[in-house]
Homo-oligomer: A and B are copies of this chain.
Amino acid sequence: MIRGGRRVEPSSCASMSEWLYSLVGENMKTVSTQLLERIADRLKAMADPMRLHILHCLQSGEHNVNDILQLVGSSQANVSKHLAVLKKAGLVSCRRSGTSVYYFIADEDIFSICRICCDGLQRQLDADRATIEQGRAEMMRGSGE
């Protein structure tokens, strides 16, 4: 937390909630801009269909770049850049073996996030469908009068 000139070191906090969740200071307005940016960066790294595809490919285990670009069906340069983004965000890591570079998931939590998103999409669709069906029923009743 870096508000008001005083800086609280993570090590001096008992738990994450004390540091990261010092998100909220004395009042609602003192939110750490830094933290918001870092969360945003992390989400931004995931918020791309191609990168999600790559992550999904790596879910089954590590792969080298050549394998990945075959799996996702894109150019080498493009995949390489996306991998660089994922790596910079700490979502994947890599190791060298000969001329190949093998990438693997560094943070399994990304799949939890994906699942939460899928659940949300599902709920949203269910709600939309219910709304439409209800509306349709009302229209039917209206035309019946």
Contact = CB atoms under 8 A, between A and B. Distances in A.
Contacts of A11: 129
Interface in A104-145: 104-109, 111-125, 129
Contacts of A104: 1-3
A143 to B, nearest CB: 25
Contacts of A57: 28
A15 interface: yes
A48 B59 contact: no
A42 interface: yes
A27 to B, nearest CB: 9
A-B complex: 8 closest residue pairs judged by Cβ atoms: A43-B47, A44-B47, A36-B49, A3-B62, A20-B118, A3-B61, A8-B111, A5-B60
Interface of A: 1-8, 10-12, 15-16, 19-21, 23-24, 28-29, 31, 33, 35-44, 46-49, 52-53, 56-57, 59-62, 71, 73, 90, 102, 104-109, 111-125, 129
